[in-house]
Chain A
Amino acid sequence: MSAPAQAGWEVVIGLEVHAQLRTRSKMFCGCPTAFGAAPNSQTCPVCQGMPGTLPVINRTAIEYAVRTALALDCRVNAGCRFARKHYYYPDMPKNFQISQYEEPLAEEGLLEIDIDGAARPIGIQRLHLEEDVGKLLHEGTLATAQASLVDFNRSGVPLMETVSKPDLRSPEEAAAYLRAFRAVLVYLGVCDGNMEEGSLRCDANVSLRPRGSAGLGTKVEIKNLNSFRNVQRALEYEVQRQAQALEAGERIVQETRLWDADRDVTRPMRSKEYAHDYRYFPEPDLVPLQIDRAWVDAIRRDLPELPRARRRRFVAQHGLPPYDAGVLTQSRALADYFEAAVRAFPQPKLVSNWIMSELLRALPGDDERAIAGAPVTPERLAGLLGLVQDGTISGRIAKDVFERMLRTGQDAPTIVAREGLTQVADEAALAAVVDRVLAQNPRAVADYRGGKTAAAKALVGQVMKATGGKANPGIVNRLLEEKLSRI
Protein backbone atom coordinates (compact mmCIF):
# COMPACT_ATOMS: atom_id res chain seq x y z
CA MET A 1 0.00 0.00 0.00
CA SER A 2 2.15 2.84 -1.20
CA ALA A 3 -0.05 5.90 -1.21
CA PRO A 4 1.25 9.01 -3.00
CA ALA A 5 1.97 10.87 0.23
CA GLN A 6 4.58 8.27 1.27
CA ALA A 7 6.36 7.95 -2.04
CA GLY A 8 9.43 9.87 -0.91
CA TRP A 9 9.60 8.28 2.54
CA GLU A 10 10.94 5.04 3.85
CA VAL A 11 9.01 3.40 6.68
CA VAL A 12 10.98 2.15 9.70
CA ILE A 13 9.20 -0.10 12.19
CA GLY A 14 10.33 -2.03 15.25
CA LEU A 15 8.02 -4.26 17.28
CA GLU A 16 7.96 -5.08 20.97
CA VAL A 17 6.05 -8.27 21.61
CA HIS A 18 4.94 -9.39 25.05
CA ALA A 19 4.17 -13.08 25.37
CA GLN A 20 2.70 -14.76 28.43
CA LEU A 21 4.63 -17.95 29.08
CA ARG A 22 2.67 -21.18 29.49
CA THR A 23 3.93 -22.04 32.94
CA ARG A 24 1.56 -23.59 35.45
CA SER A 25 2.44 -21.13 38.20
CA LYS A 26 3.34 -17.44 38.18
CA MET A 27 6.78 -15.90 37.72
CA PHE A 28 7.57 -15.23 41.37
CA CYS A 29 4.90 -17.11 43.37
CA GLY A 30 2.97 -20.38 43.17
CA CYS A 31 -0.40 -18.92 42.17
CA PRO A 32 -1.97 -20.60 39.12
CA THR A 33 -1.92 -18.85 35.73
CA ALA A 34 -5.13 -20.29 34.23
CA PHE A 35 -7.13 -17.79 32.17
CA GLY A 36 -10.76 -17.03 32.92
CA ALA A 37 -10.92 -17.68 36.68
CA ALA A 38 -13.12 -15.52 38.93
CA PRO A 39 -11.47 -12.10 39.46
CA ASN A 40 -8.87 -11.99 42.24
CA SER A 41 -9.25 -15.71 42.95
CA GLN A 42 -5.67 -16.55 41.84
CA THR A 43 -3.57 -14.18 43.90
CA CYS A 44 -1.46 -14.08 47.05
CA PRO A 45 0.47 -11.40 48.94
CA VAL A 46 3.45 -11.80 46.55
CA CYS A 47 1.57 -11.14 43.30
CA GLN A 48 -0.55 -8.43 44.92
CA GLY A 49 2.68 -6.69 45.80
CA MET A 50 2.24 -6.53 49.56
CA PRO A 51 5.14 -5.21 51.63
CA GLY A 52 7.46 -7.78 53.15
CA THR A 53 6.84 -10.55 50.63
CA LEU A 54 9.66 -12.20 48.74
CA PRO A 55 9.62 -13.27 45.08
CA VAL A 56 11.23 -16.56 43.99
CA ILE A 57 12.05 -17.18 40.30
CA ASN A 58 10.13 -19.87 38.41
CA ARG A 59 12.76 -22.15 36.80
CA THR A 60 10.44 -23.14 33.92
CA ALA A 61 9.94 -19.49 32.95
CA ILE A 62 13.72 -19.15 32.58
CA GLU A 63 13.85 -22.37 30.57
CA TYR A 64 11.08 -21.18 28.20
CA ALA A 65 12.83 -17.85 27.67
CA VAL A 66 16.14 -19.62 26.95
CA ARG A 67 14.33 -21.94 24.53
CA THR A 68 12.86 -18.96 22.69
CA ALA A 69 16.19 -17.14 22.68
CA LEU A 70 17.91 -20.15 21.10
CA ALA A 71 15.17 -20.54 18.48
CA LEU A 72 15.75 -16.88 17.55
CA ASP A 73 19.53 -17.40 17.35
CA CYS A 74 20.08 -15.02 20.25
CA ARG A 75 23.11 -14.95 22.50
CA VAL A 76 22.02 -16.19 25.92
CA ASN A 77 23.92 -14.04 28.38
CA ALA A 78 26.01 -15.91 30.91
CA GLY A 79 24.73 -13.65 33.64
CA CYS A 80 21.48 -11.79 33.93
CA ARG A 81 19.67 -9.87 36.60
CA PHE A 82 16.22 -8.59 37.42
CA ALA A 83 15.53 -4.92 37.98
CA ARG A 84 12.75 -2.81 39.39
CA LYS A 85 10.95 -0.58 36.92
CA HIS A 86 9.10 2.12 38.82
CA TYR A 87 5.81 3.66 37.88
CA TYR A 88 2.51 4.46 39.51
CA TYR A 89 -0.51 2.77 38.08
CA PRO A 90 -3.20 0.76 39.83
CA ASP A 91 -2.44 -2.35 37.75
CA MET A 92 0.76 -2.68 39.84
CA PRO A 93 0.13 -1.90 43.53
CA LYS A 94 3.75 -2.18 44.70
CA ASN A 95 4.57 0.70 42.32
CA PHE A 96 7.29 -1.17 40.48
CA GLN A 97 7.36 -4.04 38.06
CA ILE A 98 10.06 -6.68 38.30
CA SER A 99 11.65 -6.65 34.85
CA GLN A 100 15.11 -6.79 33.33
CA TYR A 101 17.06 -3.78 32.19
CA GLU A 102 20.81 -3.61 31.71
CA GLU A 103 21.42 -7.34 31.83
CA PRO A 104 18.66 -9.07 29.86
CA LEU A 105 18.49 -12.80 29.45
CA ALA A 106 19.39 -12.74 25.75
CA GLU A 107 20.42 -10.36 22.95
CA GLU A 108 21.28 -10.16 19.26
CA GLY A 109 19.20 -12.68 17.36
CA LEU A 110 17.11 -12.83 14.24
CA LEU A 111 13.81 -14.06 12.89
CA GLU A 112 13.40 -14.79 9.19
CA ILE A 113 10.20 -13.68 7.54
CA ASP A 114 8.99 -14.24 3.99
CA ILE A 115 8.32 -11.18 1.90
CA ASP A 116 7.12 -11.79 -1.67
CA GLY A 117 8.56 -15.28 -1.59
CA ALA A 118 12.01 -14.18 -0.43
CA ALA A 119 13.42 -14.70 3.05
CA ARG A 120 14.37 -11.58 4.99
CA PRO A 121 16.12 -11.68 8.37
CA ILE A 122 14.73 -9.29 10.97
CA GLY A 123 17.10 -8.52 13.82
CA ILE A 124 16.16 -9.20 17.43
CA GLN A 125 17.65 -6.67 19.79
CA ARG A 126 16.85 -8.24 23.14
CA LEU A 127 14.68 -10.74 24.96
CA HIS A 128 13.93 -10.43 28.63
CA LEU A 129 11.58 -11.63 31.35
CA GLU A 130 9.24 -9.68 33.57
CA GLU A 131 6.01 -10.08 35.47
CA ASP A 132 2.63 -9.24 33.97
CA VAL A 133 0.45 -6.69 35.73
CA GLY A 134 -3.19 -6.69 36.82
CA LYS A 135 -6.06 -6.04 34.48
CA LEU A 136 -8.03 -2.79 34.63
CA LEU A 137 -11.69 -2.60 33.78
CA HIS A 138 -13.68 0.58 33.54
CA GLU A 139 -16.83 1.19 35.45
CA GLY A 140 -19.35 2.25 32.83
CA THR A 141 -18.07 3.97 29.70
CA LEU A 142 -14.69 5.62 29.38
CA ALA A 143 -16.25 9.08 29.26
CA THR A 144 -18.47 8.66 32.29
CA ALA A 145 -16.38 6.28 34.40
CA GLN A 146 -16.04 7.34 38.02
CA ALA A 147 -13.72 4.49 38.92
CA SER A 148 -11.58 1.69 37.55
CA LEU A 149 -11.83 -1.89 38.70
CA VAL A 150 -8.84 -4.19 39.13
CA ASP A 151 -8.42 -7.94 38.76
CA PHE A 152 -4.99 -9.19 39.88
CA ASN A 153 -5.23 -12.74 38.51
CA ARG A 154 -2.93 -11.77 35.65
CA SER A 155 -0.51 -9.99 37.96
CA GLY A 156 2.74 -11.96 38.19
CA VAL A 157 2.16 -14.19 35.17
CA PRO A 158 5.54 -14.65 33.44
CA LEU A 159 5.86 -12.25 30.54
CA MET A 160 8.59 -12.45 27.93
CA GLU A 161 9.35 -9.25 26.04
CA THR A 162 11.11 -9.51 22.70
CA VAL A 163 12.24 -6.31 21.01
CA SER A 164 13.01 -6.35 17.30
CA LYS A 165 15.51 -4.06 15.64
CA PRO A 166 13.97 -1.30 13.48
CA ASP A 167 14.31 -3.59 10.45
CA LEU A 168 10.69 -3.74 9.30
CA ARG A 169 9.90 -1.62 6.25
CA SER A 170 6.12 -1.74 5.93
CA PRO A 171 2.97 -2.54 7.89
CA GLU A 172 2.75 -5.83 5.93
CA GLU A 173 6.23 -6.78 7.06
CA ALA A 174 5.30 -5.97 10.64
CA ALA A 175 2.26 -8.25 10.42
CA ALA A 176 4.40 -10.97 8.78
CA TYR A 177 6.96 -10.66 11.59
CA LEU A 178 4.26 -10.99 14.24
CA ARG A 179 2.80 -14.06 12.50
CA ALA A 180 6.21 -15.70 12.19
CA PHE A 181 7.07 -14.86 15.79
CA ARG A 182 3.79 -16.26 17.05
CA ALA A 183 4.31 -19.46 15.08
CA VAL A 184 7.77 -19.92 16.64
CA LEU A 185 6.39 -19.44 20.17
CA VAL A 186 3.56 -21.87 19.56
CA TYR A 187 5.92 -24.48 18.03
CA LEU A 188 8.19 -24.13 21.04
CA GLY A 189 5.21 -24.66 23.33
CA VAL A 190 6.18 -21.63 25.41
CA CYS A 191 3.07 -19.50 24.70
CA ASP A 192 -0.42 -20.37 23.51
CA GLY A 193 -0.36 -17.39 21.12
CA ASN A 194 -3.93 -16.44 21.90
CA MET A 195 -4.24 -12.74 21.08
CA GLU A 196 -7.91 -12.50 22.07
CA GLU A 197 -7.06 -13.64 25.61
CA GLY A 198 -4.05 -11.33 25.70
CA SER A 199 -1.40 -14.08 25.74
CA LEU A 200 0.38 -12.18 22.98
CA ARG A 201 0.44 -8.37 22.85
CA CYS A 202 2.26 -5.99 20.59
CA ASP A 203 3.53 -2.39 20.63
CA ALA A 204 5.21 -0.75 17.65
CA ASN A 205 7.74 2.03 17.11
CA VAL A 206 7.25 3.80 13.80
CA SER A 207 9.16 6.52 12.03
CA LEU A 208 9.65 7.77 8.50
CA ARG A 209 12.85 8.98 6.86
CA PRO A 210 13.59 10.37 3.41
CA ARG A 211 14.27 7.51 1.01
CA GLY A 212 17.98 6.82 0.76
CA SER A 213 18.76 8.40 4.12
CA ALA A 214 20.43 6.23 6.76
CA GLY A 215 19.45 8.21 9.85
CA LEU A 216 16.29 7.59 11.84
CA GLY A 217 13.31 9.94 11.97
CA THR A 218 11.46 10.83 15.16
CA LYS A 219 9.67 7.72 16.32
CA VAL A 220 6.16 7.33 17.64
CA GLU A 221 5.20 4.43 19.86
CA ILE A 222 1.83 2.82 19.21
CA LYS A 223 0.21 0.71 21.89
CA ASN A 224 -2.78 -1.58 21.96
CA LEU A 225 -2.13 -3.62 18.81
CA ASN A 226 -3.83 -6.78 19.87
CA SER A 227 -4.56 -8.62 16.65
CA PHE A 228 -2.72 -9.19 13.38
CA ARG A 229 -5.33 -7.09 11.64
CA ASN A 230 -4.96 -4.23 14.12
CA VAL A 231 -1.18 -4.24 13.79
CA GLN A 232 -1.40 -3.76 10.06
CA ARG A 233 -4.27 -1.26 10.09
CA ALA A 234 -2.81 0.84 12.89
CA LEU A 235 0.58 1.00 11.19
CA GLU A 236 -0.97 1.85 7.83
CA TYR A 237 -2.87 4.68 9.47
CA GLU A 238 0.18 5.92 11.36
CA VAL A 239 2.45 5.83 8.29
CA GLN A 240 -0.11 7.90 6.38
CA ARG A 241 -0.46 10.34 9.27
CA GLN A 242 3.28 10.87 9.56
CA ALA A 243 3.79 11.11 5.79
CA GLN A 244 1.10 13.76 5.50
CA ALA A 245 2.55 15.73 8.41
CA LEU A 246 6.07 15.58 6.96
CA GLU A 247 4.82 16.52 3.48
CA ALA A 248 3.12 19.53 5.04
CA GLY A 249 6.44 20.55 6.56
CA GLU A 250 5.40 19.68 10.11
CA ARG A 251 7.62 17.98 12.65
CA ILE A 252 6.77 14.63 14.17
CA VAL A 253 6.39 14.75 17.94
CA GLN A 254 7.93 11.86 19.86
CA GLU A 255 4.98 10.46 21.74
CA THR A 256 2.96 7.41 22.62
CA ARG A 257 -0.28 6.90 20.73
CA LEU A 258 -3.06 4.42 21.23
CA TRP A 259 -4.73 2.53 18.40
CA ASP A 260 -8.47 3.04 18.56
CA ALA A 261 -9.84 0.05 16.66
CA ASP A 262 -13.42 1.38 16.81
CA ARG A 263 -12.54 4.63 15.06
CA ASP A 264 -9.62 3.35 12.95
CA VAL A 265 -7.25 6.05 14.17
CA THR A 266 -4.24 6.37 16.44
CA ARG A 267 -4.58 9.11 19.02
CA PRO A 268 -2.05 10.53 21.46
CA MET A 269 -2.18 9.24 25.02
CA ARG A 270 -2.69 12.06 27.44
CA SER A 271 0.79 13.22 28.20
CA LYS A 272 2.55 11.17 30.83
CA GLU A 273 5.20 13.72 31.60
CA TYR A 274 7.39 11.41 33.64
CA ALA A 275 6.35 8.16 32.04
CA HIS A 276 9.79 7.19 30.83
CA ASP A 277 11.65 8.01 34.00
CA TYR A 278 11.44 4.50 35.41
CA ARG A 279 14.42 4.75 37.80
CA TYR A 280 15.52 1.14 37.25
CA PHE A 281 17.74 -0.46 39.82
CA PRO A 282 18.73 -4.08 40.51
CA GLU A 283 15.96 -5.99 42.32
CA PRO A 284 17.39 -6.45 45.82
CA ASP A 285 15.05 -9.36 46.60
CA LEU A 286 16.42 -11.56 43.81
CA VAL A 287 19.98 -12.81 43.45
CA PRO A 288 21.51 -12.79 39.95
CA LEU A 289 21.21 -15.69 37.53
CA GLN A 290 24.25 -17.37 36.03
CA ILE A 291 22.80 -19.51 33.33
CA ASP A 292 24.57 -22.83 33.20
CA ARG A 293 26.01 -23.64 29.75
CA ALA A 294 25.16 -27.33 30.11
CA TRP A 295 21.53 -26.37 30.76
CA VAL A 296 21.51 -24.14 27.68
CA ASP A 297 23.00 -26.96 25.58
CA ALA A 298 20.38 -29.39 26.84
CA ILE A 299 17.60 -26.94 25.95
CA ARG A 300 19.16 -26.49 22.51
CA ARG A 301 19.24 -30.24 21.90
CA ASP A 302 15.52 -30.44 22.73
CA LEU A 303 14.43 -27.68 20.34
CA PRO A 304 11.65 -28.92 18.06
CA GLU A 305 11.66 -28.46 14.30
CA LEU A 306 10.69 -24.82 13.71
CA PRO A 307 8.05 -23.56 11.24
CA ARG A 308 10.40 -22.54 8.43
CA ALA A 309 12.37 -25.78 8.53
CA ARG A 310 9.18 -27.78 8.63
CA ARG A 311 7.76 -25.90 5.67
CA ARG A 312 10.86 -26.59 3.60
CA ARG A 313 10.69 -30.25 4.57
CA PHE A 314 7.00 -30.48 3.58
CA VAL A 315 7.97 -29.29 0.10
CA ALA A 316 11.02 -31.58 -0.18
CA GLN A 317 9.69 -34.71 1.52
CA HIS A 318 5.97 -34.63 0.73
CA GLY A 319 6.22 -32.86 -2.62
CA LEU A 320 3.75 -30.16 -1.59
CA PRO A 321 3.52 -26.79 -3.35
CA PRO A 322 5.10 -24.04 -1.16
CA TYR A 323 1.66 -22.49 -0.67
CA ASP A 324 0.25 -25.69 0.85
CA ALA A 325 3.34 -26.11 3.01
CA GLY A 326 2.94 -22.55 4.31
CA VAL A 327 -0.71 -23.05 5.22
CA LEU A 328 -0.10 -26.42 6.86
CA THR A 329 2.80 -25.24 9.01
CA GLN A 330 1.05 -22.16 10.42
CA SER A 331 0.68 -24.03 13.69
CA ARG A 332 2.39 -27.05 15.14
CA ALA A 333 -0.92 -28.79 15.71
CA LEU A 334 -1.95 -28.41 12.07
CA ALA A 335 1.43 -29.62 10.78
CA ASP A 336 1.23 -32.58 13.17
CA TYR A 337 -2.31 -33.25 11.96
CA PHE A 338 -1.16 -33.31 8.34
CA GLU A 339 1.75 -35.64 9.00
CA ALA A 340 -0.37 -38.03 11.05
CA ALA A 341 -2.95 -38.16 8.26
CA VAL A 342 -0.24 -38.77 5.63
CA ARG A 343 1.17 -41.62 7.70
CA ALA A 344 -2.25 -43.26 7.60
CA PHE A 345 -3.02 -42.30 4.00
CA PRO A 346 0.20 -41.68 2.06
CA GLN A 347 -1.08 -39.30 -0.62
CA PRO A 348 0.22 -35.92 0.67
CA LYS A 349 -1.35 -33.62 -1.92
CA LEU A 350 -4.79 -35.22 -1.56
CA VAL A 351 -4.56 -35.00 2.23
CA SER A 352 -3.41 -31.38 1.95
CA ASN A 353 -6.36 -30.52 -0.30
CA TRP A 354 -8.81 -31.99 2.18
CA ILE A 355 -7.25 -30.21 5.13
CA MET A 356 -7.11 -26.85 3.35
CA SER A 357 -10.60 -27.01 1.87
CA GLU A 358 -12.65 -28.98 4.39
CA LEU A 359 -10.91 -28.92 7.78
CA LEU A 360 -9.84 -25.27 7.63
CA ARG A 361 -13.28 -24.23 6.48
CA ALA A 362 -14.54 -25.38 9.86
CA LEU A 363 -11.59 -24.67 12.16
CA PRO A 364 -8.98 -21.89 12.37
CA GLY A 365 -5.62 -23.40 11.40
CA ASP A 366 -3.65 -21.27 13.87
CA ASP A 367 -5.74 -22.40 16.84
CA GLU A 368 -3.69 -25.19 18.40
CA ARG A 369 -6.44 -26.31 20.73
CA ALA A 370 -9.11 -26.43 18.04
CA ILE A 371 -6.92 -28.41 15.62
CA ALA A 372 -5.55 -30.78 18.24
CA GLY A 373 -9.10 -31.42 19.46
CA ALA A 374 -10.72 -31.65 16.01
CA PRO A 375 -13.59 -34.16 16.05
CA VAL A 376 -12.24 -35.50 12.75
CA THR A 377 -8.89 -36.92 13.82
CA PRO A 378 -6.11 -37.41 11.22
CA GLU A 379 -6.76 -41.18 11.36
CA ARG A 380 -10.46 -40.62 10.67
CA LEU A 381 -9.70 -38.31 7.76
CA ALA A 382 -7.45 -41.05 6.39
CA GLY A 383 -10.30 -43.55 6.89
CA LEU A 384 -12.66 -41.32 4.92
CA LEU A 385 -10.17 -40.94 2.06
CA GLY A 386 -9.75 -44.72 2.08
CA LEU A 387 -13.48 -45.12 1.45
CA VAL A 388 -13.22 -42.81 -1.57
CA GLN A 389 -10.18 -44.64 -2.86
CA ASP A 390 -11.73 -48.11 -2.70
CA GLY A 391 -14.88 -46.82 -4.38
CA THR A 392 -17.20 -47.25 -1.39
CA ILE A 393 -18.32 -43.63 -1.61
CA SER A 394 -17.94 -40.88 -4.20
CA GLY A 395 -15.81 -37.79 -3.65
CA ARG A 396 -18.92 -35.66 -3.54
CA ILE A 397 -20.58 -37.76 -0.88
CA ALA A 398 -17.30 -37.78 1.05
CA LYS A 399 -17.61 -34.02 1.62
CA ASP A 400 -21.04 -34.53 3.18
CA VAL A 401 -19.65 -37.36 5.27
CA PHE A 402 -16.82 -35.10 6.45
CA GLU A 403 -19.33 -32.50 7.65
CA ARG A 404 -21.26 -35.12 9.54
CA MET A 405 -18.02 -36.41 11.07
CA LEU A 406 -17.28 -32.89 12.31
CA ARG A 407 -20.78 -32.51 13.73
CA THR A 408 -21.18 -35.92 15.32
CA GLY A 409 -17.62 -36.96 16.11
CA GLN A 410 -18.31 -40.34 14.50
CA ASP A 411 -16.02 -42.07 12.02
CA ALA A 412 -16.68 -42.36 8.29
CA PRO A 413 -17.67 -46.08 8.08
CA THR A 414 -20.28 -45.60 10.83
CA ILE A 415 -21.86 -42.62 9.08
CA VAL A 416 -21.75 -44.17 5.62
CA ALA A 417 -23.36 -47.39 6.87
CA ARG A 418 -26.05 -45.64 8.90
CA GLU A 419 -27.02 -43.12 6.23
CA GLY A 420 -26.85 -45.66 3.37
CA LEU A 421 -24.34 -43.49 1.48
CA THR A 422 -22.46 -46.37 -0.10
CA GLN A 423 -21.82 -45.72 -3.75
CA VAL A 424 -23.97 -47.87 -6.00
CA ALA A 425 -21.45 -49.99 -7.83
CA ASP A 426 -23.84 -52.82 -8.64
CA GLU A 427 -23.73 -52.94 -12.44
CA ALA A 428 -27.12 -54.54 -12.86
CA ALA A 429 -28.80 -51.98 -10.59
CA LEU A 430 -27.09 -49.10 -12.34
CA ALA A 431 -27.85 -50.50 -15.79
CA ALA A 432 -31.55 -50.42 -14.92
CA VAL A 433 -31.29 -46.77 -13.84
CA VAL A 434 -29.41 -45.89 -17.03
CA ASP A 435 -32.07 -47.56 -19.18
CA ARG A 436 -34.79 -45.64 -17.40
CA VAL A 437 -32.95 -42.32 -17.80
CA LEU A 438 -32.41 -42.98 -21.53
CA ALA A 439 -36.09 -43.77 -21.97
CA GLN A 440 -37.13 -40.60 -20.13
CA ASN A 441 -34.76 -38.32 -22.07
CA PRO A 442 -35.27 -39.06 -25.79
CA ARG A 443 -34.27 -35.52 -26.69
CA ALA A 444 -30.81 -35.78 -25.06
CA VAL A 445 -30.34 -39.14 -26.71
CA ALA A 446 -31.22 -37.66 -30.11
CA ASP A 447 -28.83 -34.73 -29.50
CA TYR A 448 -26.06 -37.14 -28.64
CA ARG A 449 -26.65 -39.17 -31.75
CA GLY A 450 -26.73 -35.93 -33.78
CA GLY A 451 -23.13 -35.36 -32.65
CA LYS A 452 -23.61 -33.30 -29.52
CA THR A 453 -21.39 -35.28 -27.19
CA ALA A 454 -22.09 -32.76 -24.42
CA ALA A 455 -25.53 -34.31 -24.14
CA ALA A 456 -23.89 -37.33 -22.48
CA LYS A 457 -22.95 -35.13 -19.53
CA ALA A 458 -26.57 -34.19 -18.96
CA LEU A 459 -27.47 -37.87 -19.00
CA VAL A 460 -24.77 -38.68 -16.42
CA GLY A 461 -26.21 -35.91 -14.27
CA GLN A 462 -29.68 -37.47 -14.54
CA VAL A 463 -28.35 -40.86 -13.44
CA MET A 464 -26.52 -39.31 -10.47
CA LYS A 465 -29.69 -37.45 -9.52
CA ALA A 466 -31.77 -40.62 -9.75
CA THR A 467 -29.35 -42.40 -7.39
CA GLY A 468 -29.05 -39.55 -4.88
CA GLY A 469 -25.44 -38.98 -5.89
CA LYS A 470 -24.45 -42.47 -4.84
CA ALA A 471 -23.78 -43.98 -8.25
CA ASN A 472 -20.16 -44.80 -9.06
CA PRO A 473 -19.42 -42.22 -11.77
CA GLY A 474 -16.91 -44.44 -13.58
CA ILE A 475 -19.43 -47.23 -14.03
CA VAL A 476 -22.19 -44.80 -15.05
CA ASN A 477 -19.97 -43.33 -17.75
CA ARG A 478 -19.04 -46.71 -19.12
CA LEU A 479 -22.63 -47.99 -19.12
CA LEU A 480 -23.91 -44.86 -20.84
CA GLU A 481 -21.24 -45.02 -23.51
CA GLU A 482 -21.99 -48.67 -24.21
CA LYS A 483 -25.73 -48.19 -24.35
CA LEU A 484 -25.63 -44.99 -26.44
CA SER A 485 -23.33 -46.60 -28.98
CA ARG A 486 -25.76 -49.48 -29.32
CA ILE A 487 -28.90 -47.41 -29.81
Chain B
Amino acid sequence: MISREDVAHVARLARLALEPDELERMRAQLDGILAYIDQLRAVDVAGVEPTSHAVPLVNVMREDAVVAPFPQEAMLANAPDRVGELFRVPRIIED
Protein backbone atom coordinates (compact mmCIF):
# COMPACT_ATOMS: atom_id res chain seq x y z
CA MET B 1 0.00 0.00 0.00
CA ILE B 2 1.34 3.41 -0.97
CA SER B 3 1.86 5.72 1.99
CA ARG B 4 0.54 9.24 2.44
CA GLU B 5 4.19 10.38 2.60
CA ASP B 6 4.91 8.89 -0.83
CA VAL B 7 1.87 10.63 -2.29
CA ALA B 8 2.88 13.93 -0.71
CA HIS B 9 6.39 13.50 -2.15
CA VAL B 10 5.10 12.81 -5.65
CA ALA B 11 2.67 15.71 -5.39
CA ARG B 12 5.51 18.00 -4.38
CA LEU B 13 7.56 16.83 -7.38
CA ALA B 14 4.60 17.56 -9.64
CA ARG B 15 4.11 20.96 -7.98
CA LEU B 16 0.61 19.99 -6.85
CA ALA B 17 -0.74 21.48 -3.62
CA LEU B 18 -3.12 18.87 -2.25
CA GLU B 19 -5.54 19.35 0.62
CA PRO B 20 -5.55 16.46 3.14
CA ASP B 21 -8.78 15.01 1.73
CA GLU B 22 -7.44 15.27 -1.83
CA LEU B 23 -4.27 13.58 -0.76
CA GLU B 24 -6.22 10.67 0.68
CA ARG B 25 -8.34 10.40 -2.50
CA MET B 26 -5.16 10.35 -4.63
CA ARG B 27 -3.62 7.78 -2.33
CA ALA B 28 -6.57 5.45 -2.77
CA GLN B 29 -6.57 5.91 -6.56
CA LEU B 30 -2.82 5.36 -6.84
CA ASP B 31 -3.23 2.23 -4.73
CA GLY B 32 -5.71 0.94 -7.30
CA ILE B 33 -3.32 1.70 -10.16
CA LEU B 34 -0.44 -0.01 -8.40
CA ALA B 35 -2.62 -3.03 -7.71
CA TYR B 36 -3.31 -3.24 -11.43
CA ILE B 37 0.45 -3.06 -12.12
CA ASP B 38 0.88 -5.96 -9.70
CA GLN B 39 -1.67 -7.89 -11.73
CA LEU B 40 0.43 -7.22 -14.88
CA ARG B 41 3.51 -8.41 -13.02
CA ALA B 42 1.98 -11.85 -12.82
CA VAL B 43 2.29 -12.24 -16.60
CA ASP B 44 5.23 -14.39 -17.64
CA VAL B 45 7.49 -12.17 -19.77
CA ALA B 46 10.55 -14.39 -19.81
CA GLY B 47 12.25 -13.97 -23.19
CA VAL B 48 10.26 -10.84 -24.09
CA GLU B 49 12.39 -7.83 -25.04
CA PRO B 50 11.45 -4.79 -22.87
CA THR B 51 9.99 -2.03 -25.01
CA SER B 52 8.99 1.58 -24.57
CA HIS B 53 6.84 1.56 -27.66
CA ALA B 54 3.81 -0.22 -29.01
CA VAL B 55 4.76 0.43 -32.65
CA PRO B 56 7.53 -1.66 -34.21
CA LEU B 57 9.43 1.34 -35.48
CA VAL B 58 13.04 2.53 -35.05
CA ASN B 59 15.33 5.26 -36.45
CA VAL B 60 12.85 7.97 -37.33
CA MET B 61 15.10 10.91 -38.15
CA ARG B 62 15.10 14.11 -40.20
CA GLU B 63 17.86 15.75 -42.21
CA ASP B 64 19.65 18.70 -40.62
CA ALA B 65 17.80 21.39 -42.57
CA VAL B 66 16.69 24.76 -41.22
CA VAL B 67 12.98 25.51 -41.34
CA ALA B 68 11.88 29.12 -40.85
CA PRO B 69 11.13 29.58 -37.13
CA PHE B 70 7.81 31.01 -35.99
CA PRO B 71 7.64 34.82 -35.96
CA GLN B 72 8.98 36.23 -32.71
CA GLU B 73 5.74 38.11 -32.03
CA ALA B 74 3.69 34.96 -32.49
CA MET B 75 5.84 33.05 -30.02
CA LEU B 76 5.63 35.84 -27.44
CA ALA B 77 1.93 36.52 -28.02
CA ASN B 78 0.64 34.21 -25.28
CA ALA B 79 3.19 35.19 -22.64
CA PRO B 80 1.48 36.17 -19.37
CA ASP B 81 4.21 38.76 -18.94
CA ARG B 82 7.07 40.00 -21.09
CA VAL B 83 9.77 42.65 -21.30
CA GLY B 84 10.47 43.57 -24.90
CA GLU B 85 11.60 40.42 -26.69
CA LEU B 86 11.90 38.35 -23.50
CA PHE B 87 9.50 36.27 -21.44
CA ARG B 88 9.22 37.55 -17.88
CA VAL B 89 8.85 34.96 -15.10
CA PRO B 90 8.92 35.08 -11.29
CA ARG B 91 12.45 35.63 -10.07
CA ILE B 92 14.70 32.60 -9.84
CA ILE B 93 16.54 32.54 -6.55
CA GLU B 94 18.84 29.63 -7.27
CA ASP B 95 21.75 31.16 -9.16
Chain A residues in the interface with B (C-beta under 8 A)? 23-25, 29-32, 38-45, 48, 56-62, 81, 86, 88-90, 136-139, 145-152, 223-224, 258, 269-270, 272, 274, 277, 279, 282-284, 286-290, 292
Contact = CB atoms under 8 A, between A and B. Distances in A.
A150 to B, nearest CB: 4
A40 B53 contact: no
A151 B15 CA distance: 23
Chain A binding surface SS class: loop
B73 to A, nearest CB: 9
B17 interface: no
Given A38-B72, A56-B62, 7 more contacts: A25-B65, A31-B69, A39-B86, A89-B92, A139-B83, A139-B88, A147-B88
CB-CB nearest 6 A-B residue pairs: A30-B67, A282-B52, A60-B64, A149-B86, A59-B61, A150-B87
Contacts, number: 136
B2 interface: no
B53 A287 contact: yes
Contacts of A39: 72, 84-86
Interface in B57-95: 57-67, 69-70, 72, 75-76, 81, 83-95
Task: Give the secondary structure class of B's interface.
Answer: loop
Interface residues of B, number: 37
Contact of A58 (B62, B69, B84): B62
B53 A25 contact: no
Interface of B: 9, 12-13, 15, 52-53, 55, 57-67, 69-70, 72, 75-76, 81, 83-95
Contacts of B95: 223-224, 258, 269
Contact of B66 (A30, A48, A292): A30
A149 B61 contact: no
Nearest to A136: B92
B69 A32 contact: yes
